[in-house]
Structure 1
Amino acid sequence: MERPYVLHMFTPGSQMSPFDINMAADAGWQVITPYCGVALAGIRGLTQDTVFSRSPKGLARTGIFIGGRDALLAADMLDAAKQALVGPFTVSLMADPSGAYTTAAAMVACVEAGLKQQGHADGYAGRRVVVLGGTGPVGRIAGVLAAQAGASVALSSRNGIDVADEAAQATARRFGVRLEGVSGGDRAAVRASIAEADVILACAAAGVQVVSAEDLAVAGSLRVAADVNAVPPAGIAGVDVMARNAPIPGSAALGIGALAIGNVKYQTQQQLMRRMHEAGSPQVLGFAEAFETARAHLAVSVAAAG
């Protein structure tokens, strides 16, 4: 009898995301077991309980998924799980806290495609990127990915410069990139931060408009603006949730909306979960792999449309 495909889902929170459980089931995992309230210190023991209960052949049908809401903690947990593996007892590992890794990957990949559509073949290289709502999990990882792609990146917080600086420094230190903090505490601060931005990534809370039409008027260098808020009002004025490189009224920039990003996010997460399920060899999947997958998905979509 063939052993079932078993996915162990670890989260430091009080519950595992139903979204992630559904995604795992749709990717073909047969036994899906959530573990809640998992601390970083508990990852090693849980991982080794997972691997030592099956033969190496059975472990090809075994995976670990790490959730939660903290982008940095999830990265630490992924590293701890990887370090706990003892060859040949290895399993596939994936982290995507609150969907932040796949959402950020989709957002940054969509904007990169928008920049290239405008003739910027080098994508993010040398571009100024401002992440509004930059202290949350999606904002932090989007900032890291843009920085790794060659951009100068600022994380903005509506709670002011001190909060933004702390988040930027902690995130930069954890992932080995350069980030700065900027204040988004009031309209004047937001306008000052985006005045010379080539790219705006709006990662603020749902239902909150962080950039008005009047704010956009000061962003004379803006090329692409992306918004993950699907709840009215739009996070960036003039960017429809369905927009995919659509002109923003009153601006020379292109807009990318939440549902356009969400479709790429969905495809990216599904492909990564299927990759764990089908690869036949151990996979370690974090936001870097999510970004590669989102880029590849967009490339296929563009080729099919063209």
Structure 2
Amino acid sequence: MERPYILHMLTPGPWMSPFDVNMAADAGYQVIVPYCGVDVAATPGLTQDAIFSRGPKGVARTGLFIGGRDVAQAVDMLDAARKAMVPPFVVSVMADPSGAFTTAAAMLACVRQQLKKAHGAELAGRQVLVLGGTGPVGRVVGVLAARAGAQVRIASHKGLQAAQETVDAVNKRFGTALLPASSADKAALREALASTDVVLATAAAGVQVLSADDLAAAGQKLLVAADVNAVPPEGIAGVGVMDDGKPVAGTQAVGIGALAVGNVKYQVQNQLLKRMREAEKPVTLSFDDAFALACELRA
């Protein structure tokens, strides 16, 4: 009898995301087991419990998925899982806390493609402003954009100090050089927008971070405006959830809406989970892998 495909899903939170459980099932995993309240210290023990019981052939049908909300903690848990494995007892591992890795990857891949298509421009060297950037998606998309050669500012509606604390933590963990910005009031927001080529809205669902007046004040430098908020009102006024390269009124920018991003995010997560399940040799998948795949899908 063929051994079943088993996915062990680890999260520091009180429950595993139903979205991720559904995605795992749709990717072909037959047994899906969530483990809640798991931190970095608990990860090696659970990993070894998962690998030593199945033998070398069984581990090929075993995977680990790491969720949660803290992107740095998720990467630390992924590293802890890999270090706990003893060849030939090695399984594939994927991290995607709050869907932030695949969402950020999809968002930036869409931006990269529309910069090229609409403006003949590259991401490298562009001024990128991430609004609502202190959350999981904002942090990851900031890291990815910086690694792609962009100059990135992370903005917080709580002010410059909150943004500074976030960029300090992200820069220390991922070796980037993100800068802080304030979006606490109209004057600060519009000052940040004035030098922005690409604006990314990654705030909480149902929160509008850019009004139509704000966009009008951005001037003609703005090239792309992308939003991941699918809950009304839209995060960027005038950028509809289905938009994928639609001109933004009053600017030379094109807009990318939440469902356009979400369609790519879904494909990326589905294909990465399948890649884990089908891999002949164990793979370790994080946000860089998600971005590479998202760019392939948008090519």
Bucket of the pairwise TM-score, normalised by the shorter protein:
over 0.9
Do the aligned residues in 1 keep the contact of 2:240 with 2:257 (CA within 8 Å)? yes
Q: Does 1:63 align with 2:63?
A: yes
Q: Does 1:27 align with 2:27?
A: yes
Q: Deviations over 1:249-277 (max 9, x none)?
A: 11110000000000000000000001011
Do the aligned residues in 1 keep the contact of 2:119 with 2:223 (CA within 8 Å)? no
Instruction: Report the equivalent of 2:164.
Output: 165
Where in structure 2 are there 5+ consecutive unaligned residues?
A: none
Aligned mates of 1:281, 1:30 — CA distance in 2: 20
Q: Deviations over 1:48-100 (max 9, x none)?
A: 11111121111000000000011111111111111111111100000000100
- Secondary structure at the residue paired with 1:65? strand
Instruction: Report the equivalent of 2:177.
Output: 178
Aligned mates of 1:260, 1:144 — CA distance in 2: 21
Q: Deviations over 1:172-216 (max 9, x none)?
A: 111111101111111111111111100000001111111111111
Q: For residues 222-261 of structure 1, what are the structure 2 equivalents within 5 Å? A: 222-261=222-261
Aligned mates of 1:119, 1:157 — CA distance in 2: 28
Point out the more displaced range, 70-79 or 133-142. 70-79
Instruction: Report the equivalent of 1:36.
Output: 36
Instruction: Report the equivalent of 2:104.
Output: 104
- Secondary structure at the residue paired with 1:126? coil
Do the aligned residues in 1 keep the contact of 2:132 with 2:138 (CA within 8 Å)? yes
Q: For residues 80-91 of structure 1, what are the structure 2 equivalents within 5 Å? A: 80-91=80-91
Aligned mates of 1:154, 1:38 — CA distance in 2: 32
Point out the more displaced range, 19-28 or 181-190. 181-190
Q: For residues 79-158 of structure 1, what are the structure 2 equivalents within 5 Å? A: 79-121=79-121, 123-158=122-157
Q: Give, in angstroms, the shift of residue 280 of structure 1.
A: 2.2
Point out the more displaced range, 183-192 or 241-250. 183-192
CA RMSD, Structure 1 to Structure 2 (Å): 0.8
Aligned mates of 2:228, 2:203 — CA distance in 1: 8
Q: Give, in angstroms, the shift of residue 219 of structure 1.
A: 1.6
Where in structure 1 are there 5+ consecutive unaligned residues?
A: 300-306
- Secondary structure at the residue paired with 2:2? coil
Amino acid at match of 2:215: L
Aligned mates of 1:19, 1:186 — CA distance in 2: 35
Amino acid at match of 1:282: P
Aligned mates of 2:115, 2:176 — CA distance in 1: 22
Q: Does 1:281 align with 2:281?
A: yes
Instruction: Report the equivalent of 2:217.
Output: 218
User: TM-score, length-normalised on structure 1?
Assistant: 0.96
Q: Give, in angstroms, the shift of residue 119 of structure 1.
A: 3.7
Moved over 4 A (4+): none
Aligned mates of 1:18, 1:137 — CA distance in 2: 18
- Secondary structure at the residue paired with 1:37? coil
Instruction: Report the equivalent of 1:302.
Output: none
Q: Give, in angstroms, the shift of residue 157 of structure 1.
A: 0.5
Q: Give, in angstroms, the shift of residue 20 of structure 1.
A: 0.4
Instruction: Report the equivalent of 2:188.
Output: 189
Aligned mates of 1:117, 1:183 — CA distance in 2: 30
Do the aligned residues in 1 keep the contact of 2:222 with 2:253 (CA within 8 Å)? yes
In the alignment of these two chains, the number of paired residues is 298
